[in-house]
Every structure is written in C-alpha cells, then in structure tokens.
Amino acid sequence: MPDSAALRDRFATTLRSLLLPGPGDAAPGAAGDPYPDPYVYADDLLARWAEPQRRYHTTGHLTAVLDRIDTLAEYADDPALVRLAAWFHDAVYRPDRSENEERSARLAERALAEAGVGADGTAEVARLVRLTAGHATGPGDRNGAVLCDADLAVLASAPDAYAAYTTAVREEYGFVPDPDFRAGRAAVLEQLLALPGLFRTPYGVREWEAPARANMTSELRGLTI
C-alpha cells in the first residue's frame, strides 16, 4: 500500500514549485507564506483516490503514474504540471458515469486557482486531465505524451501484474453483466490495438509498446473464446 505521508509530501512539493511569491511575500512553505496549506488539497485528493468503489483507480495507480512521470520527465515541457495533472486525472471517478475526466478537470480548475497556481498553469493541468478521456495527443504535445504514456504503461506490465490489473478493472465494473463486460472490454482492446502506436515518448515506444500489445492481444483472445 502506498505511503500516504510520502504522497502528501510529493503533492506539496510539486504544488509549491509552481507558486511564485509576489513582492514582499514569503516564499511558499516559509513563515508568512501567503498561500493556502498544500496539505489540505493533498488530503482531499487522497481521500478521493481511496473511495470504496475503486479497485484499480486507487492510490496505487496514482503512485505508479507519478513514478512513470518521473521516468519520462525529460520528455515533458512542464513536468510539475504533468505531475499535478496525474493527481487530478481520476480524482472524480464513478465507473458507471462517462463524465469523470470533465468533472476531474473542473475540480483541478477550482482547486489550483484557489491554491495559487497561475491561470496558464491551471489551464494546462485541466487540459491534460481532459486529454486522458481518449489519450489522443497531438503532434508536439510533449506534456500530453508524458501523461498519457504514464497512464497507459500499466498495459505493458509483467503478466502477473497485468492479470491483477484486469481483475481490478473487472471488479470496478462488477455491476455490468459478464457478457456485456466482455464485449465492451474486447471493443476497447480492439480499438487500442488498431492504433499505429500506443505510446508517444521515445522511452514508451522502446520499452512499453511491444509488451503492451502482447498483453492486450492475449487478453482479447481470452475474451473472445
């Protein structure tokens, strides 16, 4: 289970790195800091990521995405903004609803503006969160490529870890009858496998593309037997 104290510190460090004190203001984290306590936002987000309806979209997934962003940071234009987007990208999550990314983006817009992140940074985080609805990045979108690759890297897991991932996803959709789930999951896999490439960063293409396709092909075969 991820260390919640360490996660809180990671969020606070990232948020503070984006806050610029005005003339005469103390630096973020120093005595007299004019900004809200970043740990308040960290605690709210961690509570969301620990909600009981989650089986895959948990703090374990959040931690994995943050770790992968660290691996891919050299490919991002604004790694700190990408890390904040990771925190918010599934902050609102109901498996029976389709507007999770939009609601998560709106949460980011409200929270980050209140926390003191500038308008441009807040807008970029919200854009990245919305991007995770389809993982479709445009040419030159380095921030989007890093976030989407980090989010999709679970597809390239070792076989046992991939099996645990698919089991957790099935549990999140436990309210869906098995035939409907199998058909829907197969459609998602077929759509992904039809893409010319799943990953955008050089690291993702080199390290994750082949094992991800092998895992999905194997899963699809099992769903359509």
> Domain range holding 81?
4-223
Residue 56 sits in a domain whose CATH number is: 1.10.3210
Q: What is the dihedral angle through the alpha carbons of 67, 70, 73, 76, rounded to the nearest 10 degrees? A: 40
The confidence score (pLDDT) of residue 199 equals 97
**Domain count along the chain:** 1
pLDDT of residue 2: 72
pTM for this entry: 0.93
Instruction: Dig out the tokens for 102 from the structure.
Output: 């939009």
Conformational region of residue 28, where left means phi above 0, alpha means psi within -120 to 50, and beta covers everything else: beta
Q: List the one residue out of 76, 87, 80 whose CA is nearest residue 137.
A: 76
Label residue 30 by pLDDT band (50, 70, 90): low
Is it the case that residue 21 has pLDDT exceeding 80? no
